[in-house]
Structures are given as C-alpha cells and as structure tokens.
Amino acid sequence: MAASSPSGGRACSEPGALLTATIPPRQARAMCNLSLPIACCLLLFGSGLAAAQKPPPLPAPVPQGGKPPPLAQAPAEPGGKPPPLPPGNTPFGAVPGGPRPVSSGTGFVVAPSRVLTNHHVANGCAEMRIRTSSGAELSATVAATDQQRDLALLTVRGDPGPVLSFRSGPEVRRGEGVVTYGFPLSGILSSGPTLTTGDVSALAGLRDNAAQFQISAPVQPGNSGGPLFDLAGNVMGVIVSKLNAQRIAQSTGDIPQNVNFAVKGAEAVDFLRRNGVQPRMVPSTIPPRSAAEVGEVAHPSTVFLRCLR
C-alpha cells in the first residue's frame, strides 16, 4: 500500500506551497501537471519535506576554555527517573548472555505444580517460563512428552494456580458448545488471555485422526496447549492446531473457515496417568453455563508460556 502524504494527498496538486524554497512555483506546477506523479511526489518527499521545515539550528559555539556544550539527553519521566524497561534484567526478560524467548504458547494446571501443554510448545526449549493469572513469573522444566499425541507435562517451581477438572462423561457429541481460553498472537493482540466460543464440528481430526476433535472456535498461534472447555466448565480437550487455509486454498481454490483441532480429553487423561498424574475427573451433568462463567473457571488456572533457547 502506498503511503499517503502528510497534507492529506494534496501535495502533488498544490506544489507551490511545498516547493517554493527549492523550485519556483510555475516549474513545480508544470511538472505535476505532466504525467509524472511519482517524480513530483519524490521531489516533495524525497528530501524529507525540506522546504516545509525550518533548517536545523547551527551548533552552539564552543565556549572559551575549549569544552564543548553538553549533549542533549532524552527526556526523563517526572521526578527525574528514566523510562522503565520491560520486566526482567534486559528487554524481553532475558538475562544477558542467557537463553532468549523465541516462541510462546498456553498451558493449564492439571495437578499441584504441574502444567499441561503441547509437545510442540515445549520441544527444544532450554528453559520454560510461566506467567500465572496473578502475574507471577515461574520457571518450569519438561517432565514428560508424547510427540504423537502432541502433549507435554511441565513441572513448575511454585504454585501456577488451582487445578482444573477433566470431563468424565457423558460422551462428547457433535454440535456441543465449546470455549477456548489462551494467549494467541502474543505481542500483537491483547497481552491478557483471550476467550473464543464455537462447537464440536466433528469427532475426529485431520485425516480421521481419532485422537482429536474438530472444532469451530477460532484459534491462532499462541493458543497451542490451551484448554478446551465444555459448557459445564470441564476440560474436554487441548488446543493443538488449525487447518492451513492458504495451502488448502492453493489446492482447491476455496478458503476453509473455522477448521481447528484439539486433542481429546481422554487422550490427555491417559497421557497424564501414564506419567504419574491423577487428574481430577468430574461428570458434565450440570446445566450449561455461559461462556463468561466458563471463562471465570479458566482464568486462574490458564498460564502463558514462553520458550527460551
């Protein structure tokens, strides 16, 4: 997209006002009346609007004694304090010379000091950092992974939040309402968690993957590893991926919409039990809650993850 001019797009039609210091008005108007709008605009803007701005002041003379005047400093905050840096020892929270954040995702608390996420979120990380709902920054290590299921279990140094419950029954049906909660597109969207709603579209994932659900709730990069809730507020899956709409469009000429996937809750429960965690199981037999009420259940137990390498 071409950039607009500072004068609202009228710079080339009113050249005299901007070019008087460098080109006589008649010549400037004649150039712009020709079929050379690019040349005209380059004259207007290529020099940084030199004609519309005052020339920079000359440097102050060196006082007697040979010492130059002090350099100008960036304005400080009221009270003389410099502008604050982001949390951590350096920008982005990284230690000088140490691992730096390279990606982010979502996780949720499945047992005291234990967090579940995706294998691809934790894979290859030298260190994992967790930000809880209270804003606490905690360190975590990878305790177990399952690449085929795309699940990872983290051990957290500290209290990441209250434990969420998994759905023990009844069987999930197509058309059931679902809620996602996570941290998509960190650094672009809200720094806080995002809630989306949708339905169970299919009881199998891509290429009939029986370990996954297909859902219509919108998800984005950064949602990976987050909880998928039913309307009782119980975990029924783990967000894992979305269909690559660009590739499908190149193959079929059609852009798919709201085709996303989650690892089934039963798969996550089996993974946890195989690794020494007994998840809390609750039947989803209560009347459906609103999405906002489910979000209140999710909030204290859903964490933001950063992978450091």
Q: Which two tokens stand for residue 172?
A: 């999930």
Amino acid at 121: V
Bridge partners for 196 per DSSP: 180
How far apart are the C-alpha atoms of 212 and 72, rounded to whole Å?
Answer: 60
Closest CA to 121 of 301, 271, 303, 273: 303
- Give me the residue spans of the domains in the chain: 15-52, 99-309
User: Which pLDDT score is estimated for 82?
Assistant: 41
User: Which pLDDT score is estimated for 19?
Assistant: 32
Known catalytic membership, residue 120:
yes
Q: Which residues contact 255 (CB under 8 A, 6 or more apart)?
A: 245, 248, 249
φ/ψ bin of 177: left (φ > 0), alpha (ψ from -120 to 50), beta (otherwise):
beta
CATH of domain 99-309: 2.40.10.120
Q: Which residues contact 203 (CB under 8 A, 6 or more apart)?
A: 172, 174, 213, 214
> Which 3 state secondary structure label does DSSP give 30?
helix
Which one of the listed residues 104, 133, 150, 165 is annotated catalytic? 150
Q: Which two tokens stand for residue 296?
A: 């209140």
φ/ψ bin of 254: left (φ > 0), alpha (ψ from -120 to 50), beta (otherwise):
beta
φ/ψ bin of 161: left (φ > 0), alpha (ψ from -120 to 50), beta (otherwise):
left
- Judge if the upstream peptide bond of residue 15 is cis by omega within 30 degrees of 0: no
Contact 308, 100 (CB under 8 A): yes
Q: What share of the chain is helix, strand, coil (3-state, %, to 5)?
A: 20, 30, 50
How far apart are the C-alpha atoms of 44 and 52, rounded to whole Å?
Answer: 9
Rg, Å, the chain Cα set: 28
Which one of the listed residues 104, 165, 186, 224 is annotated catalytic? 224
Which one of the listed residues 120, 165, 186, 230 is annotated catalytic? 120
pLDDT tens for each residue of the chain, 309 residues long:
444 444 444 334 333 333 333 334 444 444 444 333 333 333 333 334 333 344 455 555 555 555 555 444 444 444 444 443 333 333 344 556 667 778 899 999 999 999 999 999 999 999 999 999 999 999 999 999 999 999 999 999 999 999 999 999 999 999 999 999 999 998 787 789 999 999 999 999 999 999 999 999 999 999 999 999 999 999 999 999 998 888 888 888 888 889 999 999 999 999 999 999 999 999 999 999 999 999 999 999 999 999 998
Bridge partners for 230 per DSSP: 178
Known catalytic membership, residue 150:
yes
User: Which pLDDT score is estimated for 301?
Assistant: 98
Contact 214, 175 (CB under 8 A): no
